Structure 1
Amino acid sequence: MKLRITIDGKAYEAEVEILDAEGSAPEYPPYPPAPAAYVAAEPPEMIIAAQTGEVASSEKECRSPVTGMVVKVEVEPGQLVQTNDVVVVLESMKMEMQITAQQTAAVKNVLVTEGSAVKVNQLLVEFE
């Protein structure tokens, strides 16, 4: 089979041979099958606790579950909070997250202010 190719206004003729599709395509090995089992990753606070040797959280502490920024502090020292009351509102990756109290307790100390940056597992509020 002859083909005519024009490059920069100049015409060229070329003779082309068409090979079988099977013979011209390279053979690739099949993809390996996907793993059958799903392995859940450990939460970040568990990893940090394992690395530092510290307890990740206790009943008298409220720690940040993410790296982010404090949007609002809902409590002050001396205030009594009930289980699931919002203590701090954090923003992480343009999403707001409400951090709540795990039990009824009095606020001993607030360690963050609005606008401050926090890291994973950082202590936000202490309870009595």
Structure 2
Amino acid sequence: MKKLRITLEGKAYEVTVELLEDSVSSAVQPLPQPPVQVPPLSVSFPAGKPGSTAPVGEGCVAVCCPMAGKVFKCLVKPGDQVTHNQVVIVLDAMKMETPVVAPVAGVVRTVLFKEGDSVDEGDCLLQIEGLAH
């Protein structure tokens, strides 16, 4: 078994492969690189911008779906207080769980999808009324 780092379209992935025949030259050695940390996705659109499929209430920020998939877990409900970068929804897309985080601290005003619902990229998942500083 060999551990390799592969870069596709600028993103590095660590993979483990089993060599069936040892035809790899010992002169070829992968360069050591630190593992890549992928931050949770957070996409929001102000009212009226393309991609927002629901009207956004005054003083609210729409948390929009970054990719097509299914709502795997909804971790908040209307009235819940959330912090900036708190995971609010987990999507299931391409057999992977993708966390969606709150772009602002505030109070959840509306949740527009429930667990198991299919969502498209750009769909407004929920709205958060931002806290005044």
TM-score, structure 2 as length reference: 0.54
Q: CA deviation at 1:127?
A: 1.2
Query: Which residue does 2:78 correspond to in 1?
Result: 77
Greater share of helix: 1
Work out the CA distance in 2 between the residues paired with 1:118 and 1:56: 12
Q: Residue 110 of structure 2 aligns with which residue?
A: 109
Paired AA for residue 87 in structure 1: V
- The DSSP-based 3-state class of the residue aligned with 2:100 is strand
Instruction: Give the one of 40, 49, 55 matched to 1:54.
Output: 49
Alignment gaps of 5+ in structure 1: 1-37, 39-44
TM-fit CA distance, 1:56: 4.4
Q: Which amino acid aligns with 2:117?
A: S
Q: Identity rate of aligned residues, in percent?
A: 35
SS at match of 1:60: strand
Q: 3-state SS of the aligned residue for 2:122?
A: coil
Q: Which whole-Å deviations, capped at 9, do the CAs of 1:24-62 have from their partners, x for residues lacking one?
A: xxxxxxxxxxxxxx9xxxxxx8xxx9xxx8344686110
TM-score by length of 1: 0.56
Q: For the residues of structure 2 that align with 1:80 and 1:119, how far apart are their CA atoms?
A: 26
RMSD of the alignment, in Å? 2.5
| 1:126 partnered with 2:121 | no
Aligned length: 79
Shift of 1:103: 1.2
- Give me the whole-angstrom Cα distance separating, in 1, the residues matched to 2:116 and 2:61: 24
Q: Unaligned regions of 5+ residues in structure 2, if any?
A: 1-8, 10-42
Q: Distance in 1 between the 2:116 and 2:105 partners?
A: 26
User: Hey, which bits of structure 1, 4+ residues long, moved more than 6 A?
Assistant: none
- 1:99 lines up with 2:94 in the alignment: no
Deviates more, 1:57-66 or 1:82-91: 57-66
Query: Does the residue aligned with 2:121 lie in a helix, a strand or coil?
Result: coil
Which residue of 2 is the match for residue 66 of structure 1? 67
Structure 1 or 2: more strand by fraction: 2
1:26 matched to which residue of 2? none
2:127, 2:115 → 1: CA distance? 17
Counterparts of 1:56 and 1:68 in 2: how far apart (Å)? 15
